[in-house]
Amino acid sequence: MTYRTQFDSELDNLKLNLIKMSDLVIRNIHDALHSFLEMNTELAERIIKDDQLVNDFEYAIEKECMRIILREQPVAKDLRLITAVLKMITDLERIGDHAADISKLTVFMEKTSKPLKAKYTPLMVDVCEEMIRLALDSFVNRDTRMAHEVIEKDDLVDEYFIEIKNQVASAIRETRIDADYAIYLMMVAKYIERIGDHAVNLAEWVIFSITGEHE
């Protein structure tokens, strides 16, 4: 095995672990929302525990990146790729934190007599999950077009957030929602909106890894 072949194999392993980390994060986001909408504390507690797995991924990938940098002393595009991985795992870890935060709200709330089915909340999560997957696909395929598509989708997440805010405000005025639940629902929506922002960060680091420019 030549030096370059071995180095490429190490970079491919980094990409693979990054994808595994993102798959876990996406699953936790999806389940966290359902735990809140269904007031499923058992599911919520599982997600809170699983957040440690996300942290473990971040630590392992960061350690491997530093090992490669110190041993191989990469330059140019290889160094940009490793730098992007280090930045991306930070955003993925924070996305995982937000999934755990949503689950903690479920545990705090336990149950409510006046839940509100905010139809835009699942739509927000669907878009965020798509953004994360698209960002990782753009990274693996080195496709800046796909990365820019992720950035553009964030506008839709913001629109859904405004719709939820308006729906909650209307429900409060008409006393169709518990005050505590209204606050927690808005917190959930805000966490999801922040997940969208982190997905944008992922895409921006993908662009950096390819072009050397960070928008």
Q: Could you tell me if 118 and 168 are in contact, meaning their C-beta atoms sit under 8 angstroms apart? A: yes
**Domain at 3-211, CATH homologous superfamily:** Phosphate transport system protein phou homolog 2; domain 2 (1.20.58.220)
Summarised one tens digit per residue, pLDDT across range 53-111 is 999 999 999 999 999 999 888 888 899 999 999 999 999 999 999 999 999 998 887 76
Angstrom CA distances, 33 to 27, 41, 95, 118, 186, stand at 10, 12, 13, 12, 13
Q: Where are the domains of the chain?
A: 3-211
Of 57, 32, 37, 51, the residue nearest 192 (C-alpha): 32
User: How many angstroms from the chain centroid is the CA of residue 134?
Assistant: 12
pLDDT for residue 112: 62
**pTM: predicted TM-score of the whole model, two decimal places:** 0.92
Indicate the pLDDT class of residue 11, thresholds 50, 70 and 90. confident
Give alpha helix (H) positions in the chain: 3-37, 41-72, 76-109, 120-141, 144-173, 179-211
Mean pLDDT of the chain: 92
CB 89 within 8 A of CB 60: no
How many other β-carbons are positioned within 10 Å of the β-carbon of residue 17? 16
pLDDT interval class at 117 (50, 70, 90): confident
Assigned token pair, 60: 């392992």
Residue pair 48/162 in contact (Cβ under 8 Å)? The answer is no
